[in-house]
Amino acid sequence: MLRFAIVLQTPKDQQSAVYIGYQSLAEGLEHLNHSVTIVAPSDFTRVARLSGRWTPLVYPLALASWLGDRRDKFDLVLFHSYSGWVTSLVGRGRPRALVMFHGVEPLYHRALRAEAQRSGRPLTWRYRLLQEVFMPLVLGIACRRAFGVACLNQREAAYLKQRGWVSGSNLHVLAHGVPPEFFVSSRRRRPLQTLLFVGQWLPMKGVQYLQDAAAVLLGRYADMRLVCAGTLATADQVMAHFPETVRNRVTVLPRVDQASLAQLYRNADVFVFPSLYEGFSRAIVEAMASRLPIVCTSVGVAADALRHEHSALIVPTHDAGALVAAVERLRANSDFADRLADGAAEAARRYTLADVSHRTIDVVIDAARGAR
């Protein structure tokens, strides 16, 4: 029996893609008779009380103290991003670690800074100091001292190697998997009317460009509607961004369980995702599995899995007009929309939860046995 600890830097939220993914991994390892302990900031009272800006410093300190008395109780610790940097620095290689990225912070910050400059709202010097000086320093420590590093896409892998934080031999690109309930074998043709967006209502999800495009499309087509799911922001907060004339055709669902989410994909006619940065975006693969025509930017898994005009319409970031043109193109050509949906569904077969879980479990077990 192998003993694992999974250390998250995000909450244990049952609707979080990160937490859902790690729960699935834990279940797979436990099914093989291994033991798994999942730890998050909420498990440390002092960390949970602090402002988020202090988390990259205080949480790793708390973890190093917690693991200091448990070094011999785990064969391998999976550290979410920077969370294990103090342990790696002071632990002398015990316990052995895998660093698991779900979005590489410096790449996210680069996209965020570009968007801030475009919007005329520059980032504070404190935030820039954290992300441009402190974060690369601690990530370098965590990665160089780890037994292995895993990320979610090829762009992240290239960045990690370019920085010299990891070599090719101990770097893994591990995707997220999609449960079987999202996969459909066919979809009845119907008029393109319902646009679906799935994601938090945050600037980095490209919501400014989504709302601008939706205002144009819903203004032009009286039968068109937009569904925004998993926003975490309230319906009133999201609705305030749309013109009053179209709000009656915008549906906001702040939280959606997995069964309801799968049905939302089935009820939609096109998936629209103008994100500015993604580590992966399981929502895109859910849309692929659901055989939806997709309009998205080339971020996260989209850059690795989708091809323009073969399995999606790839549009530039920061471009509401391109979103409008892409949706109108699909609306005007049902055969083309069907071909894109078929191409996306074919690509989604590489991301079944079972296959992805097996690949991830193999990497994790090999690392644990190597650590022994």
Mean pLDDT of 252-270: 94
* pLDDT grade for 93, boundaries at 50, 70 and 90: low
pLDDT value for 372: 46
Residue ranges per structural domain of the chain: 3-177+353-371, 180-351
Tell whether the model's pLDDT for residue 210 goes beyond 50: yes
* 131-154 tens-digit pLDDT: 999 999 999 999 999 999 999 999
The arrangement of strands across the sheet holding 250-253 comes to 250-253, 225-229, 194-198, 270-273, 294-296, 313-314
pLDDT value for 227: 98
Identify any residues that bridge with 119 across adjacent strands, giving them in sequence order. Answer: none
Whether 3-177+353-371 shares its CATH topology with 180-351 is answered yes
* 151-170 tens-digit pLDDT: 999 999 999 999 999 987 88
* 262-298 tens-digit pLDDT: 999 999 999 999 999 999 999 999 999 999 999 999 9
pLDDT value for 91: 72
Residue 47 vs residue 325, higher pLDDT = 325
pLDDT value for 159: 96
| Assigned CATH for 3-177+353-371 | 3.40.50.2000
The percentage of the chain sitting over the pLDDT mark of 90, rounded to a whole number, equals 75
CATH architecture of residue range(s) 180-351: 3-Layer(aba) Sandwich (3.40)
SS3 letters for the chain?
Answer: CCEEEEECCCCCCCCCHHHHHHHHHHHHHHHCCCEEEEECHHHCHHHHHCCHHHHHHHHHHHHHHHHHCCHHHCCEEEEEHHHHHHHHHHCCCCCCEEEECCCCHHHHHHHHHHHHHHHCCCCCHHHHHHHHHHHHHHHHHHHHCCCEEEECCHHHHHHHHHCCCCCHHHEEECCCCECHHHCCCCCCCCCCCEEEEECCCCHHHCHHHHHHHHHHHHHHCCCCEEEEECCCCCHHHHHCCCCCCCHHHEEEECCCCHHHHHHHHHHCCEEEECCCCCCCCHHHHHHHHCCCCEEECCCCHHHHHCCECCCEEECCCCCHHHHHHHHHHHHHCHHHHHHHHHHHHHHHHHHEHHHHHHHHHHHHHHHHHHHC
| Residues 6 or more apart whose Cβ sits within 8 Å of residue 227 | 194, 195, 196, 197, 250, 251, 253, 264, 267, 268
pLDDT value for 337: 97
* 33-92 tens-digit pLDDT: 999 999 998 888 877 676 667 788 889 999 999 998 888 899 999 999 999 999 988 876
Mean pLDDT of the chain: 92
pLDDT value for 51: 61
pLDDT value for 52: 66
